[in-house]
């Protein structure tokens, strides 16, 4: 077990290193002078700044030396400076990480809880209303672009039913203690989390239904029924636990896609997270920030993968014995 964890951590470290190398290659491959790429094509970089960049990145040295310098700095937590925001990239990103994590976690929790419940209900009656709902929902959830769903919700909630705020994360006019603040953020979170969650809710409900149907045919379910366990307990306890495994695996594998979705949703709802930062830095051609965000979100995906692996093992002890 300890050996396994160590091996996985080493592998994760190798992936992180590979992402850094990729970032470096992207700067090199981009057309134009790397110093200009690093400074951003905003025209604001004067000769002094350019000279500083050349010196800092060692752009006159051989390419492998440059790579070494880049990796060395990155491993010390220095991903360069944003010349647009005039701040170190890492600091800038860390200030925006919280809102994105909050949005992604809320959306994922919503999708997992509602999606699996819906899937179980659909599996109980394969021809019932819940089952039809799952089918329709999964088609709509897959086919509607997430940013468009968000915009449609904005139209609905901004003018027609003004129940939830449609932009931002905090109402700056509102005064109050931490509880008021938390409630305010939660209030702002509803629509973005709902938008992002709907896509995955659709997938998880369908997946839960399929794997529940499969599990319900297993021998141990018949045994449970035969020994007089209530149907409710059979569904919610015996079957659900096993049907959950594929859902957790898929949810973990999709983490990168969820972060991608968050970029679009944040842009729609002006949610002050990594996604809006990515969008603004791309418009500003602020490459160090853009590449820094790519690095950090890849890091999040790697961590999510490790966590998924861990949760799968909790759900199915057989997995822990293998390998």
3 to 22: interface string for another protein, x by CB under 8 A: ------------x--xx--x
Task: Please report how close the Cβ of residue 21 comes to another protein at its closest, in angstroms.
Answer: 10
Using CB under 8 A, which of 67, 97, 144, 311 touches another protein?
144
83 and 49 Cβ atoms separated by less than 8 Å: yes
Handedness of CA 11, 13, 19, 22 (dihedral sign): negative
Q: Give the DSSP H/E element, type plus range, for residue 28.
A: helix 2-29
User: Could you tell me if 20 and 6 are in contact, meaning their C-beta atoms sit under 8 angstroms apart?
Assistant: no
Select 257 or 307, whichever has its Cβ closest to another protein.
257
Closest by CA position to 185, among listed 168, 163, 199: 168
| Number of residues this chain uses to bind another protein (CB under 8 A) | 54
* Sign of the dihedral defined by the CA atoms of residues 139, 142, 143, 144, in that order: positive
- Give the nearest distance from C-beta 20 to another protein in angstroms: 12
User: Binding segment for another protein among 2-10, 63-71, 180-188, 250-258 (CB under 8 A)?
Assistant: 250-258
How far is Cα 179 from Cα 100, in angstroms, rounded to an integer? 20
Site for another protein in 59-118 (CB under 8 A): none
Is 249 in contact with 204 (CB distance < 8 Å)?
no
Q: Does 272 bind another protein (CB under 8 A)?
A: no
Which residues of this chain interact with another protein, rule CB under 8 A?
A: 15, 18-19, 22, 26-27, 29-31, 37, 126, 139-140, 142-148, 151-152, 154-155, 158-159, 209-210, 213, 253, 256-257, 259-261, 263-264, 267-268, 278-279, 282-283, 285, 287, 290-291, 293-294, 297-298, 301-302, 305
């Amino acid at each position: 077990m300890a050996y396994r964890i160590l091996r996985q951590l080493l592998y994760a470290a190798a992936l992180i290193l590979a992402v850094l190398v990729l970032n470096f290659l992207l700067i090199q491959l981009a057309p134009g002078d790397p110093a200009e790429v690093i400074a951003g094509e905003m025209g604001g970089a004067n000769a002094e700044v350019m000279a500083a960049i050349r010196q800092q990145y060692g752009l006159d040295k051989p390419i492998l030396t440059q790579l070494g310098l880049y990796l060395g700095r990155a491993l010390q937590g220095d991903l360069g400076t944003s010349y647009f925001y005039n701040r170190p990239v890492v600091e800038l990103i860390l200030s925006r990480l919280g809102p994105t994590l909050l949005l992604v976690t809320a959306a994922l929790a919503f999708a997992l809880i509602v999606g699996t419940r819906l899937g179980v209900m659909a599996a109980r009656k394969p021809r019932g209303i819940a089952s039809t709902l799952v089918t329709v929902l999964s088609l709509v959830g897959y086919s509607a672009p997430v940013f468009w769903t968000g915009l449609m919700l904005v139209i609905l909630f901004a003018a027609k039913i003004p129940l939830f705020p449609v932009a931002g994360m905090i109402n700056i006019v509102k005064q109050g203690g931490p509880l008021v603040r938390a409630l305010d953020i939660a209030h702002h979170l509803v629509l973005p989390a709902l938008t992002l969650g709907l896509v995955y809710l659709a997938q998880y409900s369908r997946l839960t239904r399929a794997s529940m149907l499969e599990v319900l045919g297993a021998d141990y379910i018949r045994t449970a029924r035969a020994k007089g366990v209530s149907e409710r307990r059979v569904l919610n306890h015996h079957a659900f636990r096993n049907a959950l495994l594929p859902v957790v695996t898929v949810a973990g594998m999709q983490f990168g896609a969820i972060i991608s979705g968050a970029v679009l949703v944040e842009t729609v709802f002006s949610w002050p997270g990594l996604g809006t930062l990515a969008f603004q830095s791309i418009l500003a051609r602020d490459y160090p920030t853009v590449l820094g965000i790519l690095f950090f979100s890849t890091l999040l995906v790697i961590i999510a993968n490790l966590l998924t692996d861990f949760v799968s093992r909790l759900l199915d002890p057989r997995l822990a014995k293998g390998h």
